Each structure stands twice: as structure tokens, then as C-alpha cells.
Homo-oligomer: A and B are copies of this chain.
Amino acid sequence: MNQQRIQIVQNILSANDAIADQNRQLLNKAGLFSINLMASPGAGKTSLIEQTVKNLCQDYRILVIDGDIATTFDADRAMAAGATAIQINTGGDCHLDAVMLNKALVQADLNQFDLLIVENVGNLVCPASFALGTFHNVLVASVPEGHDKPHKYPAMYRGVDCVLLNKIDLLPYVEFDVDFFRKGLEALNPNVELLMVSCRSGEGLENWFHWLRKKIGEFRTQNMV
């Protein structure tokens, strides 16, 4: 019975990958740079989106697709910040998959946007297994979660291109060993970018905006070739 269950999971994942490829093609065709933003519940994905939209919306037309079990809180916040937003409610599902994203993508006129931010369901486990077809995977970690999280959630930390360590304004009030966190991360993912930020105070966010602008530039160069 276990064998059969594993087989089915593999089928679901290959079906997901095929749709993720279609999403990637749709996004490339529209010249739309995209990131899949993942995190624990409450690490600060939506706050990061608010700050990002406010900072970049003069230069880029931004679409946010929000995944949540329930509510439209996050899409409402992205819209209030100045983005166009689409909410996906997964019902009970613990992650977005490529099919859900596809249904949202075909609703939008993708040519009207330069930057797509997909906000995944708050979860450090399941979203790591489901490719969406976005260009980069980005993780928002946060200081109050503790410095041991790369060790405890290796698949997530291994599969991302950029980690933002958010809530550094709380470093004076909690026990968090930045070196231990950094070493745990680098052991799993030596080429990852680590950015220390506070979405609340704004500290360090300029490095994130710089990273994003640079990656959008690289995408456009690659996409024109």
C-alpha cells in the first residue's frame, strides 16, 4: 500500500511539473519576471510585498498572486500598496501548485505586467515540493523563528535562490545566533543570497530591491536572446 501511495505522489508531481513548464512558457512569452515567495506563517511575506510594491511600482507594473487557505487579507494588502492582486484560496491545501497558478495566470493580461510576485501558503514544508514555473524561489525567514530552521527544514532552505532574514529589528529581544543560521544555510545551499532585512523599520530593504532589479534585468537579457 505504501508503494502504491508513493507511485501516486510521483504521478501528481510529474503532472505538476508539466503544468509548471506551461506556466514558465506563458511568463517568458509575456516577458514577465516572476518569483515564488515562501515562508512560515507570519514570517513577513505580505509585509515584504507591501514594501516591494511601494518601492518598485514607479518602475515596474506589478502583479501579486496570493495563495492562502482562507481569507483575502493578503491580496487586499497588496492592492492597497498599489499592485494588481489575485487571491487563490486553496481550501485546505497546504501549498500552491502549478495548476492553481495556471488558473490565476490565464485570468490576467500578463503582457500588462513586468513583475509577478506569487505569495505561497505559509508553510516551510509542502511548497518546497511543488514547482510553479516561476523564475526564482525566494524564502522569507524571520528572527523570532530561531536560528535552527535551516537544519530542521532542509528541503525548503536548499531549494531557494535568495533568503531574506526578516525582523532583524527584534534581534536585541530574542536569542538568535546569526552565524549559526548563516552556517546552516550555507551548508545546504552555498550559492544562496542571504539578505538581512526588517520590513518594519525598512533596514536592509535596499539590498532586496537591488537584488530584484538586477534579476529582472538578467531575465530581460536572457529572454531577448
Which B residues are in CB contact (< 8 Å) with A71?
Answer: 148, 151-152
**Identity of the chain B residue whose Cβ is nearest the Cβ of A147 in the assembled complex:** B42
- Chain A residues numbered 62-76 whose CB sits less than 8 Å from any CB in chain B: 68-71, 73
Is B40 touching A122 in the complex (CB atoms < 8 A)? yes
The stretch that binds B, out of A16-24, A100-108, A123-131, is A123-131
Is A124 touching B122 in the complex (CB atoms < 8 A)? yes
Is B155 touching A42 in the complex (CB atoms < 8 A)? no
Of listed A41, A94, A144, A151, residue having the most chain B CB within 10 A: A41
This chain's copy number in the assembly: 2
Q: Does A154 contact B (CB under 8 A)?
A: yes
**Size band of the A side of the interface?**
35 or more
- Once A125-B126, A170-B173 are accepted as A-B contacts, the answer to whether A151 and B73 lie under 8 Å apart by CB is yes
Q: Does A80 contact B (CB under 8 A)?
A: no
Distance from A129 Cβ to chain B, minimum over Cβ atoms (Å): 7
Which B residues are in CB contact (< 8 Å) with A142?
Answer: 42, 144
Q: Does A5 contact B (CB under 8 A)?
A: yes
A8-19, CB under 8 A of B: which get 1 and which 0?
A: 100010000000
Distance from A178 Cβ to chain B, minimum over Cβ atoms (Å): 15
Chain A residues close to B by CB (< 8 Å): 5, 8, 12, 40-42, 68-71, 73, 92, 94, 121-126, 129, 142, 144-146, 148-149, 151-155, 167, 169-170, 173-174, 200
